[in-house]
Amino acid sequence: MSGGEWRPAPAAGLRVGPARWDGARMVTDASCDGHERILTLGLRERMVLELVDGERSPGAIAAELAGQGTPLPPAALTQILNGFVMHGLLERPFAVETAGVARADRDAATAPATRPEVWAGAARRRDPLGMLAAAPAMAVLGVAAAAGIAAAVFALPAAWAAVTSGAAGAWLVAAILAAVAWTGAVTWAHEAAHAAVFRRLSGRAARLSITMLGVVPMPNTQLAGLALLSPGRRARVVAAGPLVSLAAMLVPAAVFAADPAGPAGLAAAAAVVLGAAVNWLSLSFFPNTDATRLLEVAGSVDQVQAVAFRALVRPSSIPRALPGAAKTVIRAYPFLLAASVLATAALSVPAIRSVLP
Protein backbone atom coordinates (compact mmCIF):
# COMPACT_ATOMS: atom_id res chain seq x y z
CA MET A 1 0.00 0.00 0.00
CA SER A 2 1.31 3.45 -0.91
CA GLY A 3 1.73 6.16 1.73
CA GLY A 4 -1.24 8.10 2.99
CA GLU A 5 -4.41 7.35 4.87
CA TRP A 6 -6.21 4.12 4.04
CA ARG A 7 -9.29 4.58 1.89
CA PRO A 8 -11.22 1.29 1.96
CA ALA A 9 -12.62 0.14 -1.38
CA PRO A 10 -15.22 -2.53 -2.21
CA ALA A 11 -13.84 -5.83 -3.45
CA ALA A 12 -14.34 -6.69 -7.10
CA GLY A 13 -17.68 -8.40 -7.67
CA LEU A 14 -19.19 -7.29 -4.36
CA ARG A 15 -22.93 -8.01 -4.23
CA VAL A 16 -25.19 -6.54 -1.56
CA GLY A 17 -28.83 -7.58 -1.44
CA PRO A 18 -31.78 -5.42 -0.39
CA ALA A 19 -32.50 -4.95 3.30
CA ARG A 20 -35.27 -7.05 4.85
CA TRP A 21 -36.94 -7.41 8.24
CA ASP A 22 -36.45 -10.71 10.09
CA GLY A 23 -38.71 -9.91 13.03
CA ALA A 24 -35.92 -8.55 15.20
CA ARG A 25 -33.76 -6.36 12.97
CA MET A 26 -33.09 -5.22 9.43
CA VAL A 27 -30.60 -7.57 7.77
CA THR A 28 -28.83 -7.68 4.43
CA ASP A 29 -26.97 -10.49 2.67
CA ALA A 30 -23.60 -9.72 1.10
CA SER A 31 -21.13 -11.79 -0.90
CA CYS A 32 -18.66 -11.54 -3.77
CA ASP A 33 -18.63 -13.14 -7.18
CA GLY A 34 -16.78 -16.44 -6.88
CA HIS A 35 -17.57 -16.78 -3.17
CA GLU A 36 -20.10 -19.33 -1.95
CA ARG A 37 -20.06 -17.81 1.53
CA ILE A 38 -22.87 -15.37 2.29
CA LEU A 39 -22.55 -12.87 5.13
CA THR A 40 -25.61 -11.48 6.87
CA LEU A 41 -25.10 -7.86 7.89
CA GLY A 42 -27.03 -5.77 10.37
CA LEU A 43 -28.23 -2.24 9.64
CA ARG A 44 -25.11 -0.61 11.08
CA GLU A 45 -22.78 -2.78 8.99
CA ARG A 46 -24.79 -2.07 5.86
CA MET A 47 -24.63 1.68 6.44
CA VAL A 48 -20.85 1.45 6.74
CA LEU A 49 -20.54 -0.70 3.62
CA GLU A 50 -22.67 1.74 1.60
CA LEU A 51 -20.20 4.53 2.44
CA VAL A 52 -17.15 2.53 1.36
CA ASP A 53 -16.24 3.83 -2.10
CA GLY A 54 -12.44 3.93 -2.32
CA GLU A 55 -12.49 7.69 -1.77
CA ARG A 56 -13.51 8.09 1.86
CA SER A 57 -11.10 7.37 4.70
CA PRO A 58 -12.35 5.75 7.91
CA GLY A 59 -12.44 9.22 9.45
CA ALA A 60 -14.59 10.52 6.60
CA ILE A 61 -16.91 7.54 6.93
CA ALA A 62 -17.27 8.22 10.66
CA ALA A 63 -18.01 11.89 9.96
CA GLU A 64 -20.63 10.95 7.35
CA LEU A 65 -22.34 8.57 9.78
CA ALA A 66 -22.36 11.25 12.47
CA GLY A 67 -23.87 13.70 9.98
CA GLN A 68 -26.66 11.18 9.32
CA GLY A 69 -27.44 11.05 13.02
CA THR A 70 -25.93 7.59 13.55
CA PRO A 71 -22.52 8.19 15.14
CA LEU A 72 -20.27 5.17 15.47
CA PRO A 73 -17.35 4.97 17.91
CA PRO A 74 -13.97 4.71 16.13
CA ALA A 75 -13.27 1.31 17.70
CA ALA A 76 -16.60 -0.08 16.44
CA LEU A 77 -16.00 1.31 12.93
CA THR A 78 -12.52 -0.19 12.85
CA GLN A 79 -13.89 -3.56 13.94
CA ILE A 80 -16.53 -3.51 11.18
CA LEU A 81 -14.03 -2.52 8.48
CA ASN A 82 -11.54 -5.15 9.65
CA GLY A 83 -14.28 -7.77 9.50
CA PHE A 84 -15.11 -6.74 5.93
CA VAL A 85 -11.44 -6.99 4.97
CA MET A 86 -11.08 -10.37 6.70
CA HIS A 87 -14.04 -11.83 4.82
CA GLY A 88 -13.14 -10.38 1.44
CA LEU A 89 -15.87 -7.76 1.09
CA LEU A 90 -13.23 -5.01 0.86
CA GLU A 91 -9.94 -4.93 -1.00
CA ARG A 92 -7.07 -5.81 1.28
CA PRO A 93 -4.68 -2.86 1.53
CA PHE A 94 -1.66 -5.13 1.94
CA ALA A 95 -0.78 -8.80 1.85
CA VAL A 96 -1.89 -10.58 5.00
CA GLU A 97 -0.75 -14.08 5.86
CA THR A 98 -2.23 -15.29 9.11
CA ALA A 99 -4.03 -18.45 10.11
CA GLY A 100 -7.26 -16.53 10.62
CA VAL A 101 -7.18 -14.93 7.17
CA ALA A 102 -6.27 -18.25 5.54
CA ARG A 103 -9.20 -19.92 7.27
CA ALA A 104 -11.54 -17.12 6.20
CA ASP A 105 -10.38 -17.52 2.61
CA ARG A 106 -10.99 -21.27 2.73
CA ASP A 107 -14.44 -20.70 4.19
CA ALA A 108 -15.33 -18.47 1.23
CA ALA A 109 -15.79 -21.64 -0.80
CA THR A 110 -18.39 -23.02 1.63
CA ALA A 111 -22.06 -22.35 0.97
CA PRO A 112 -24.51 -21.90 3.85
CA ALA A 113 -25.57 -25.16 5.50
CA THR A 114 -28.56 -26.80 3.86
CA ARG A 115 -31.58 -28.28 5.59
CA PRO A 116 -31.58 -31.99 6.51
CA GLU A 117 -32.24 -33.91 3.35
CA VAL A 118 -32.76 -37.38 1.99
CA TRP A 119 -31.14 -36.60 -1.32
CA ALA A 120 -29.73 -33.47 -2.88
CA GLY A 121 -27.76 -32.58 -5.96
CA ALA A 122 -26.62 -29.40 -7.63
CA ALA A 123 -28.87 -28.21 -10.42
CA ARG A 124 -27.33 -28.51 -13.85
CA ARG A 125 -25.33 -25.53 -15.03
CA ARG A 126 -26.95 -25.69 -18.46
CA ASP A 127 -30.63 -26.11 -17.94
CA PRO A 128 -33.07 -25.29 -20.74
CA LEU A 129 -35.52 -24.01 -18.14
CA GLY A 130 -33.06 -21.19 -17.49
CA MET A 131 -34.50 -19.42 -20.53
CA LEU A 132 -37.55 -18.66 -18.36
CA ALA A 133 -35.46 -16.02 -16.59
CA ALA A 134 -35.87 -13.73 -19.60
CA ALA A 135 -38.82 -11.36 -19.29
CA PRO A 136 -40.38 -12.34 -22.68
CA ALA A 137 -40.22 -16.05 -21.81
CA MET A 138 -41.71 -15.35 -18.39
CA ALA A 139 -44.53 -13.41 -20.04
CA VAL A 140 -45.28 -16.28 -22.45
CA LEU A 141 -45.24 -18.71 -19.52
CA GLY A 142 -47.65 -16.42 -17.68
CA VAL A 143 -50.08 -16.57 -20.60
CA ALA A 144 -49.79 -20.37 -20.67
CA ALA A 145 -50.38 -20.46 -16.91
CA ALA A 146 -53.52 -18.35 -17.28
CA ALA A 147 -54.73 -20.74 -19.98
CA GLY A 148 -53.95 -23.65 -17.65
CA ILE A 149 -56.05 -22.09 -14.89
CA ALA A 150 -58.97 -21.57 -17.27
CA ALA A 151 -58.70 -25.13 -18.62
CA ALA A 152 -58.56 -26.60 -15.11
CA VAL A 153 -61.55 -24.58 -13.89
CA PHE A 154 -63.55 -25.66 -16.93
CA ALA A 155 -62.55 -29.34 -16.71
CA LEU A 156 -62.58 -29.82 -12.93
CA PRO A 157 -66.32 -30.49 -12.34
CA ALA A 158 -66.49 -33.15 -15.06
CA ALA A 159 -63.11 -34.59 -14.02
CA TRP A 160 -64.26 -34.90 -10.40
CA ALA A 161 -67.45 -36.62 -11.53
CA ALA A 162 -65.48 -39.05 -13.71
CA VAL A 163 -63.17 -40.00 -10.85
CA THR A 164 -65.86 -40.34 -8.17
CA SER A 165 -68.79 -41.76 -10.14
CA GLY A 166 -67.83 -45.38 -9.53
CA ALA A 167 -68.18 -46.20 -13.22
CA ALA A 168 -64.43 -46.47 -13.75
CA GLY A 169 -64.16 -49.81 -11.99
CA ALA A 170 -60.76 -51.47 -12.08
CA TRP A 171 -59.32 -48.66 -14.21
CA LEU A 172 -59.55 -46.19 -11.34
CA VAL A 173 -56.49 -47.50 -9.47
CA ALA A 174 -54.38 -47.37 -12.62
CA ALA A 175 -55.70 -43.88 -13.37
CA ILE A 176 -54.79 -42.64 -9.91
CA LEU A 177 -51.28 -44.11 -10.16
CA ALA A 178 -50.82 -42.45 -13.55
CA ALA A 179 -52.05 -39.14 -12.10
CA VAL A 180 -49.62 -39.40 -9.18
CA ALA A 181 -46.74 -40.11 -11.58
CA TRP A 182 -47.71 -37.14 -13.78
CA THR A 183 -48.07 -34.82 -10.79
CA GLY A 184 -44.70 -35.97 -9.47
CA ALA A 185 -43.06 -35.15 -12.81
CA VAL A 186 -44.71 -31.72 -12.86
CA THR A 187 -43.56 -31.10 -9.29
CA TRP A 188 -39.97 -31.79 -10.27
CA ALA A 189 -40.34 -29.48 -13.28
CA HIS A 190 -41.73 -26.87 -10.87
CA GLU A 191 -38.68 -27.16 -8.62
CA ALA A 192 -36.29 -27.31 -11.58
CA ALA A 193 -37.77 -24.03 -12.86
CA HIS A 194 -37.01 -22.35 -9.53
CA ALA A 195 -33.46 -23.69 -9.69
CA ALA A 196 -32.81 -22.85 -13.34
CA VAL A 197 -34.08 -19.27 -13.13
CA PHE A 198 -32.12 -18.72 -9.91
CA ARG A 199 -28.99 -20.06 -11.54
CA ARG A 200 -29.45 -17.85 -14.59
CA LEU A 201 -30.10 -14.68 -12.57
CA SER A 202 -27.57 -15.17 -9.77
CA GLY A 203 -24.82 -17.36 -11.19
CA ARG A 204 -25.03 -19.47 -8.03
CA ALA A 205 -25.78 -23.16 -7.71
CA ALA A 206 -29.22 -24.31 -6.61
CA ARG A 207 -29.89 -27.64 -4.94
CA LEU A 208 -32.81 -29.83 -5.91
CA SER A 209 -33.55 -31.97 -2.90
CA ILE A 210 -36.02 -34.08 -1.01
CA THR A 211 -36.69 -33.24 2.62
CA MET A 212 -39.01 -35.06 4.97
CA LEU A 213 -42.25 -33.62 6.37
CA GLY A 214 -42.76 -36.32 8.97
CA VAL A 215 -42.89 -39.46 6.85
CA VAL A 216 -43.84 -37.61 3.66
CA PRO A 217 -41.01 -36.87 1.18
CA MET A 218 -41.23 -33.28 -0.07
CA PRO A 219 -39.30 -32.06 -3.14
CA ASN A 220 -37.91 -28.58 -2.69
CA THR A 221 -35.25 -26.25 -4.03
CA GLN A 222 -32.56 -24.78 -1.80
CA LEU A 223 -31.48 -21.35 -3.07
CA ALA A 224 -28.58 -20.06 -0.99
CA GLY A 225 -28.11 -16.45 -2.02
CA LEU A 226 -31.67 -15.68 -3.12
CA ALA A 227 -31.65 -12.62 -0.83
CA LEU A 228 -28.73 -11.17 -2.82
CA LEU A 229 -31.06 -10.57 -5.76
CA SER A 230 -33.23 -7.52 -6.28
CA PRO A 231 -36.91 -7.90 -5.34
CA GLY A 232 -37.89 -8.13 -9.01
CA ARG A 233 -35.45 -10.95 -9.71
CA ARG A 234 -36.42 -12.77 -6.52
CA ALA A 235 -40.05 -12.59 -7.60
CA ARG A 236 -39.17 -14.15 -10.97
CA VAL A 237 -37.35 -17.02 -9.25
CA VAL A 238 -40.28 -17.69 -6.93
CA ALA A 239 -42.93 -17.30 -9.64
CA ALA A 240 -41.21 -19.61 -12.15
CA GLY A 241 -42.25 -22.79 -10.32
CA PRO A 242 -46.00 -22.19 -9.97
CA LEU A 243 -46.20 -20.79 -13.51
CA VAL A 244 -44.76 -24.07 -14.84
CA SER A 245 -47.20 -26.10 -12.73
CA LEU A 246 -50.19 -24.06 -13.88
CA ALA A 247 -49.16 -24.21 -17.54
CA ALA A 248 -48.81 -28.00 -17.21
CA MET A 249 -52.52 -28.22 -16.35
CA LEU A 250 -53.20 -27.72 -20.06
CA VAL A 251 -51.98 -31.26 -20.81
CA PRO A 252 -54.36 -33.39 -18.69
CA ALA A 253 -57.22 -30.97 -19.39
CA ALA A 254 -56.69 -31.40 -23.14
CA VAL A 255 -56.41 -35.20 -22.90
CA PHE A 256 -59.58 -35.38 -20.82
CA ALA A 257 -61.45 -33.17 -23.29
CA ALA A 258 -60.32 -35.37 -26.20
CA ASP A 259 -61.18 -38.72 -24.58
CA PRO A 260 -63.49 -38.22 -21.57
CA ALA A 261 -64.77 -41.80 -21.54
CA GLY A 262 -61.60 -43.81 -22.18
CA PRO A 263 -58.82 -45.02 -19.85
CA ALA A 264 -56.52 -42.15 -20.92
CA GLY A 265 -59.29 -39.69 -20.19
CA LEU A 266 -59.84 -41.19 -16.75
CA ALA A 267 -56.13 -40.86 -15.93
CA ALA A 268 -56.23 -37.28 -17.22
CA ALA A 269 -59.30 -36.56 -15.08
CA ALA A 270 -57.47 -37.81 -12.00
CA ALA A 271 -54.46 -35.67 -12.96
CA VAL A 272 -56.71 -32.60 -13.30
CA VAL A 273 -58.14 -33.18 -9.82
CA LEU A 274 -54.78 -33.86 -8.19
CA GLY A 275 -53.05 -31.02 -10.03
CA ALA A 276 -55.78 -28.58 -9.05
CA ALA A 277 -55.36 -29.53 -5.39
CA VAL A 278 -51.57 -29.16 -5.50
CA ASN A 279 -51.73 -25.82 -7.29
CA TRP A 280 -54.38 -24.54 -4.90
CA LEU A 281 -52.11 -25.29 -1.95
CA SER A 282 -49.12 -23.67 -3.69
CA LEU A 283 -51.10 -20.49 -4.33
CA SER A 284 -52.64 -20.31 -0.85
CA PHE A 285 -51.05 -18.35 1.96
CA PHE A 286 -50.03 -21.28 4.10
CA PRO A 287 -46.50 -21.12 5.57
CA ASN A 288 -43.65 -21.61 3.09
CA THR A 289 -45.82 -21.80 -0.04
CA ASP A 290 -44.88 -19.97 -3.23
CA ALA A 291 -47.64 -17.42 -2.62
CA THR A 292 -46.26 -16.69 0.84
CA ARG A 293 -42.73 -16.39 -0.57
CA LEU A 294 -43.97 -13.81 -3.08
CA LEU A 295 -45.59 -11.95 -0.19
CA GLU A 296 -42.24 -11.95 1.61
CA VAL A 297 -40.55 -10.52 -1.48
CA ALA A 298 -43.19 -7.79 -1.76
CA GLY A 299 -42.74 -6.74 1.86
CA SER A 300 -39.02 -7.51 2.28
CA VAL A 301 -39.79 -9.74 5.26
CA ASP A 302 -38.16 -13.03 6.28
CA GLN A 303 -40.41 -15.91 7.42
CA VAL A 304 -43.51 -13.74 7.45
CA GLN A 305 -45.61 -16.32 9.29
CA ALA A 306 -43.36 -16.15 12.38
CA VAL A 307 -42.96 -12.38 12.19
CA ALA A 308 -46.70 -11.81 11.70
CA PHE A 309 -47.83 -13.91 14.64
CA ARG A 310 -45.19 -12.36 16.88
CA ALA A 311 -46.61 -8.97 15.90
CA LEU A 312 -50.15 -10.22 16.50
CA VAL A 313 -49.26 -11.17 20.07
CA ARG A 314 -47.01 -8.15 20.64
CA PRO A 315 -47.90 -5.25 18.30
CA SER A 316 -45.00 -3.19 19.67
CA SER A 317 -42.60 -5.58 17.88
CA ILE A 318 -43.28 -3.67 14.64
CA PRO A 319 -40.97 -0.62 14.64
CA ARG A 320 -42.50 2.68 13.60
CA ALA A 321 -39.68 3.25 11.11
CA LEU A 322 -40.32 -0.03 9.29
CA PRO A 323 -41.23 0.55 5.61
CA GLY A 324 -44.95 0.68 4.88
CA ALA A 325 -44.88 -2.37 2.59
CA ALA A 326 -43.35 -4.50 5.35
CA LYS A 327 -45.92 -3.31 7.91
CA THR A 328 -48.78 -4.04 5.51
CA VAL A 329 -47.56 -7.57 4.76
CA ILE A 330 -46.95 -8.38 8.43
CA ARG A 331 -50.38 -7.15 9.52
CA ALA A 332 -52.23 -8.73 6.59
CA TYR A 333 -50.69 -12.20 6.75
CA PRO A 334 -52.81 -13.66 9.61
CA PHE A 335 -55.97 -12.63 7.74
CA LEU A 336 -54.66 -14.08 4.47
CA LEU A 337 -53.83 -17.34 6.24
CA ALA A 338 -57.29 -17.48 7.83
CA ALA A 339 -58.88 -16.80 4.44
CA SER A 340 -56.82 -19.62 2.92
CA VAL A 341 -57.91 -22.05 5.63
CA LEU A 342 -61.57 -21.11 5.26
CA ALA A 343 -61.48 -21.26 1.46
CA THR A 344 -59.74 -24.65 1.53
CA ALA A 345 -62.35 -25.98 3.94
CA ALA A 346 -65.21 -24.52 1.88
CA LEU A 347 -63.92 -26.32 -1.21
CA SER A 348 -62.83 -29.61 0.33
CA VAL A 349 -65.68 -30.37 2.74
CA PRO A 350 -68.41 -30.51 0.04
CA ALA A 351 -66.08 -32.53 -2.18
CA ILE A 352 -65.48 -35.07 0.58
CA ARG A 353 -69.18 -35.27 1.40
CA SER A 354 -69.99 -35.95 -2.24
CA VAL A 355 -68.07 -39.23 -2.17
CA LEU A 356 -69.28 -40.45 1.21
CA PRO A 357 -72.13 -43.00 1.25
Query: For the segment 182-208, what is each residue's pLDDT rounded down to a tens digit?
Result: 999 999 999 999 999 999 999 888 888
Helix, strand, coil percentages (3-state) for the chain, rounded to 5, are: 60, 10, 30
- Burial per residue of 248-259, b for 16 or more beta-carbon CB atoms within 10 angstroms, e otherwise: bbbbbbebbbee
Question: Which residues have CB under 8 Å from 331's CB, separation 6+?
Answer: 308, 311, 318
pLDDT at 8: 92
- Nearest Cα to Cα of residue 226 among 247, 207, 248, 210: 207
pLDDT at 261: 84
pLDDT at 230: 94
pLDDT at 120: 52
Extract the residue ranges of the chain whose pLDDT is less than 50: 1-2, 117-118
pLDDT at 118: 47
pLDDT at 98: 63
pLDDT at 141: 94
Question: Which residues have CB under 8 Å from 300's CB, separation 6+?
Answer: 18, 19, 20, 21, 231, 323, 325, 326
**pTM listed for this prediction:** 0.87
The domain made up of 14-107 has a fold known as Outer Surface Protein A; domain 3 (3.90.930)
CB 84 within 8 A of CB 168: no
- For the chain, residues classed under CATH 3.90.930 are 14-107
CB 186 within 8 A of CB 275: yes
pLDDT at 113: 59
